[in-house]
Amino acid sequence: MNLLDRDGVRVTVDDAVAAVTLTGADRRNAQTPALWRALAEAGRLLPGDVRIVVLRGEGRSFSAGLDRRMFTPEGIDGEPSLAELARLPEAELNATLAGYQEAFTWWRRGDLVTIAAVQGHAIGAGFQLALACDLRVCADDAEFVMRETSLGLVPDLGGTHPLVHLVGYARALEICATGRAVHAAEAERIGLATVVVPRAELDAAVDDLTAALLAAPRDALIETKTLLRAATAQGYAAQRADERAASGRRLRDLAGVGE
């Protein structure tokens, strides 16, 4: 089932699996505000029985980041350039940036497990989009670069939180501040990549992971994801209390005992 195909984003659904594909291969899947609006809409359109979402970029790169036309005085037709954004009143600028961030937030929903299949370049906004997903299956030619700081900007599309939790504060600072490339082997070593496979095996590896995730009962997987998310932000006692509550819900459900 085809749900969406516009502004560089295509969304299809096959039973419990949704595929979100960036379709601008000729521009290395460079990102624009229109693409972000399409990605945000994709999250709203997903049917309730979708369990797994796989994000891909067509062509040789996952996403080379922000469309460089945004940096020019002419910008992109119908969209504000960076210079025009800078001149907005503070409240309007904040609201505009919050709208952009919506494309990067729904991937962390508790009822979904999201997988980024990354090949080639994942730069800036592309890096942050891969970080938005729960898991990253990477080809051996994958290359992550957080270039914003080098350009006088900051990563502002939700990427700083997952990056710090994945690789730690010091490594995240070094990656962002230097703007250097993190290649696939290092990405796997530091916890940024879930798994790295030869480029020709990327789709098969994603399919295998998807099948393994679908084998787990949906409610148990949702509860487990929620627990693991909470563990990054709360203390041990609170986490154990959440585990007990979740365990109770699962035991009652399995035994057919009502609340």
Q: Point out which residues pair with 12 in neighbouring strands.
A: 2, 19
Backbone φ and ψ for 187, nearest 5 degrees, come out as: -55, -40
Q: Residue count of the chain, please give it.
A: 259
End-to-end CA distance of the chain: 37
CA–CA distance, 101 with 143 (Å, rounded to integer): 23
Tens-binned pLDDT, residue by residue, of the chain (259 aa): 999 999 999 999 999 999 999 999 999 999 999 999 999 999 999 999 999 999 999 999 999 999 999 989 888 999 998 999 999 999 999 999 999 999 999 999 999 999 999 999 999 999 999 999 999 999 999 999 999 999 999 999 999 999 999 999 999 999 999 999 999 999 999 999 999 999 999 999 999 999 999 999 999 999 999 999 999 899 999 999 999 999 999 999 999 987 6
Token pair, residue 250, equals: 């699962």
Beta strands per DSSP E along the chain? 2-6, 9-14, 17-22, 52-57, 113-118, 121-123, 135-139, 143-145, 181-183, 195-197
The b/e string for 162-197 (b: 16+ C-beta within 10 A; e otherwise) is bbbebbeeebbeebbeeeebbbbebbbeeebbbebb
Residue 253: name the closest of 215, 217, 214 by CA. Answer: 217
CA-based radius of gyration for the chain: 19
Give the residue extent of every domain in the chain.
2-215, 218-255
CATH superfamily of 2-215: 2-enoyl-CoA Hydratase; Chain A, domain 1 (3.90.226.10)
Identify the DSSP state of 28.
Answer: T
Which residues does 202 contact at the CB level (< 8 Å), separation at least 6?
Answer: 117, 119, 137, 138, 139
